[in-house]
Amino acid sequence: MNIHEYQAKQIFAKYGVPTPKGLMAESVKQAVANAETLGGSIWVVKAQIHAGGRGLGGGVKLARSLEEVEQLSKEILGMTLVTHQTGPEGKLVQKLYIEEGADIKEELYLGVVLDRAREMPVIMASTEGGMAIEDVAHNTPEKIIKIAVDPAIGFQGFHGRELVFGLGITDSNEQKKLISFASKLYKLYMENDAEMIEINPLVKTGSGEFLALDGKMGFDDSALGRHPDIEDMRDISEEDADEREAGKYGLSYVSLDGEIGCMVNGAGLAMGTMDTINYMGGTPANFLDVGGSANAQTVAKGFEIILKNPKVKAIFVNIFGGIVRCDRIANGILEATKLVDVHVPVIVRLDGTNAPEAAEILRNANIANVIAATDLADGAAKAVAAAKQAK
């Protein structure tokens, strides 16, 4: 789960990680009021969406008067912001963050992520702040410092020294401040079961202070149960409605832009099914894992979600029945076709326990739309052919 910048900064503040002062607004009026409350003569109006690259997309702008705050808020609130992380369809801006301006002397990058190879959190830092870190990693990897922190010992002095010397910070006062900054960041990463924190940029001000000018946080979904305060920060308008709906029924769904709907048991086989469709010259419309217990209800829900997409021209149901026997799944599929109006060809491949009985059930049902397949390759080929025919 991801949260907004303003929410990440609330967590930062709780741990004493310095940030500029700011307030969230959901209307232009509130934005202006926030600027007045903050005081000063310069403000930043920032679009709040769950994606990076907001500045380049025109979602972060500087205002030098309250009139400008009003003007910019009108422009940004309600706009569809397109960044390299939103995809071409962009994201609707429904919230703003009004922040006091900062006296920026240098822009750095600081983040904490899980290093899967080392199996521990790694602090990533760079002098190249304000740029997409993927680009820095690609073009000048030597400019990224990585410091793995073993949770068994936590953030130690040497981690801090590696950080400041790596960034070329020589002033002892600044060293102390940045080490303290990073140590708090590590602490909040661990205590909140974060999956990633990214501060880009982390700025050094004219007076030698370090401030988190931006803040991005993602959390381990498996750990949200023990963090009700984080769960409360969930903004469902930022999440894909179909993915959310599917999740309620224990289905794992991701929409893609192809023509063949997929319904599969198991994440690996679901990806493998998409790959096979692609290999055979078709295009998958979605990833859908119906989980271990594919029954009439879950299959019907799967059909419903897949068929919401008007591009879908055929559906490939690919189930490897293990503990759940194929004959039961076949009956479930037939029942599901009665619950949902399935108006495209459905290719069904059932393999594993009791597969011959399942094939018999499908044959006897004799539903025009339901085509039985013998194995994965056969099913994918039939689905690709059916989608082509529908054109």
In angstroms, what is the minimal distance from the CB of 378 to other proteins?
9
Instruction: Encode burial over 112-126: b for 16+ CB neighbours within 10 A, e otherwise.
Output: bbebeeeeebbbbbb
What length does the chain have?
391
In angstroms, what is the minimal distance from the CB of 115 to other proteins?
10
Give the integer Cα–Cα distance in Å for 315 and 306. 8
Nearer to other proteins, 38 or 114 (CB): 114
Long-range contacts of 134-143 (CB under 8 A, 24+ apart): 136/109
How far is Cα of residue 346 from the mean position of the Cα atoms in its chain?
Answer: 31
Nearer to other proteins, 151 or 356 (CB): 151
119 is catalytic: no
Give the integer Cα–Cα distance in Å for 333 and 318. 11
Give the integer Cα–Cα distance in Å for 16 and 338. 58
Pick from 134, 196, 123: which is nearest to 161 by CA? Answer: 123
Nearer to other proteins, 118 or 161 (CB): 118
Give the integer Cα–Cα distance in Å for 285 and 330. 23
Pick from 307, 333, 308, 329: which is nearest to 320 by CA? Answer: 329
Nearer to other proteins, 1 or 169 (CB): 1
109 is catalytic: yes
Give the integer Cα–Cα distance in Å for 226 and 109. 30
Rg (alpha carbons) of the chain, rounded to whole number: 26
The label of the residue with tokens 């939103």 reads 86
Other CB atoms within 10 A of residue 341 CB: 9
Active-site option among 6, 97, 99, 109: 109
Query: Phi/psi at 308 (nearest 5 deg)?
Result: -65, -25
In angstroms, what is the minimal distance from the CB of 117 to other proteins?
5
Return left, alpha or beta for 40; rule: phi > 0 is left, psi -120 to 50 is alpha, else beta: left
Q: Which two tokens stand for residue 173?
A: 């006062």
Q: Which two tokens stand for residue 349?
A: 């491949």
In angstroms, what is the minimal distance from the CB of 273 to other proteins?
8
In angstroms, what is the minimal distance from the CB of 3 to other proteins?
16
Nearer to other proteins, 22 or 129 (CB): 129
In angstroms, what is the minimal distance from the CB of 171 to other proteins?
31
Nearer to other proteins, 62 or 120 (CB): 120
Other CB atoms within 10 A of residue 101 CB: 15
Nearer to other proteins, 35 or 262 (CB): 262
Q: Beta strands 370-373 and 346-352: pairing type? A: parallel
In angstroms, what is the minimal distance from the CB of 226 to other proteins?
7
Give the integer Cα–Cα distance in Å for 270 and 286. 9
Binding site for other proteins (CB under 8 A): 85, 114, 116-117, 119-120, 133-134, 137-138, 151-152, 190, 193, 195, 220-223, 225-226, 252, 254, 256, 264-272, 274-280, 284, 287, 289, 320-323, 351-353, 375-377, 380
Active-site option among 5, 195, 198, 259: 198
Give the integer Cα–Cα distance in Å for 78 and 388. 39
In angstroms, what is the minimal distance from the CB of 82 to other proteins?
15
Nearer to other proteins, 300 or 380 (CB): 380
| Residue numbers annotated as active site | 109, 198
